[in-house]
Structure 1
Amino acid sequence: MQTIQILALGKCKESYLREACREYEKRLSRFCQLQIVELEPVSLPQDPSDREIAQALEKEGAELLKRARGFCVAMCIEGKQLDSPALAAKIADAACGVDNGAVTFFIGSSYGLASAVKQRAQLRLSMSAMTFPHQLARVMLLEQIYRSYQILNGTKYHK
């Protein structure tokens, strides 16, 4: 069974979003071994300098990279936008790859991801040109992963 790992900086705090995540975790359990790892973002002052932000991103990036496995996807606004069938194809292609087909998705902190994390990723993926709260982006990502498996299994979920 393929392993899908989501490495996220920050916790999903809102109960309705945690509930949505749990629903997709339950649905995905039929298709993959899902691991969601929440890492603590580096604490920054109210109005951090560019240098402080860069140092925080570097420290956060090192923690993300320690846990990276298989085909890595950096979720970032400057990434490529894919439709659902194309994401499904990436997940299917990764299933034949290293680490028994593991896929790691990186979700950064409010300041994004370190350049080292983006460089490690084989795919930089953007959900939209719009900006979403990280917690909502996690739910959206889980839904798209679930949709990918539905596409790969030929169900009617994706129309």
Structure 2
Amino acid sequence: MNPSRCRILAVGKVRRGWIQDGIALYCKRLPGLEIIEIRDSTPDKEAESIRANLRSDEHLIALMEEGVAVGSIPFAQRLETLGNQRLAFVIGGADGLTPALKQGAQWQLSLSPMTFPHELARLMLIEQLFRAQAILQGSPYHRA
């Protein structure tokens, strides 16, 4: 997994300081990972902004509660199979992603069957990207 081939397109700003600190910590460990913040609006306008920010060569990975939940090791393995392809992880706002955006995703991923605030989902995703990298590199960070 190459962090410089991954981007996170996330609706909304991170306002909580402790979440900002956590994101900053993992971003230092994942050099090259890019986070694009999409302005909060209606789901349709957010989807339009997400599409405008997607690159033509990126695989869209939609984070959604009805997506497929995977453990950390299968997540890392899936990222490894994607090789050097460019990935865009998309986190919707309070009202989630539009059905069209969800259907257009190459991978519909769930971090949990529970619902989390978008700020916390962003931190959890970044930690899982770091964990996936650690798993693939054989680092002791992941103890399972």
Does TM-score exceed 0.5, indicating one fold? yes
Q: What secondary structure does 1:73 align onto?
A: strand
Gaps of 5+ in 2: none
1:76 aligns with 2:54: no
Question: Deviations 1:31-89 (Å, cap 9, x if unpaired)?
Answer: xx2110111111xxxxxxxxxxxxx2122111111222422210101000001111112
Partner of 1:86: 74
TM-score (norm 1): 0.83
Contact (CA 8 Å) 1:91, 1:103: kept in 2 or not?
no
Other-structure match for 1:109: 93
Return the alpha-carbon distance in structure 2 between the equivalents of residues 66 and 117 of structure 1. Answer: 12
Q: Which stretch shifts more, 73-82 or 57-66?
A: 57-66
Q: What does 1:108-147 correspond to in 2, within 5 Å?
A: 108-147=92-131
User: What amino acid sits opposite 1:17 in the alignment?
Assistant: I
Q: Which runs of 4+ in 1 moved over 3 A?
A: none
Residue number among 18, 22, 28 corresponding to 1:26 in the alignment: 28
In the alignment, does 2:132 pair up with 1:158?
Answer: no
Residue 95 of structure 1: how far off its partner (Å): 2.2
Counterparts of 1:72 and 1:90 in 2: how far apart (Å)? Answer: 14
Return the alpha-carbon distance in structure 1 between the equivalents of residues 60 and 133 of structure 2: 18
Aligned match of 1:4? 6
**Corresponding letter in the other structure for 1:93:** T
Matched with 1:148 is 132
**8 Å CA contact 1:71, 1:94 repeated in 2:** no
**Ranges in structure 1 where 5+ consecutive residues have no aligned partner:** 43-55
Instruction: Return the alpha-carbon distance in structure 1 between the equivalents of residues 35 and 139 of structure 2.
Output: 25
User: How many residues are treated as equivalent by the alignment?
Assistant: 139
Q: What RMSD over aligned residues (CA atoms) do the two structures have, in Å?
A: 1.2
CA–CA distance in 2 between the matches of 1:122 and 1:153?
Answer: 25
Distance in 1, matches of 2:83 and 2:14, equals 28
What's the TM-score once normalised by structure 2's chain length? 0.91
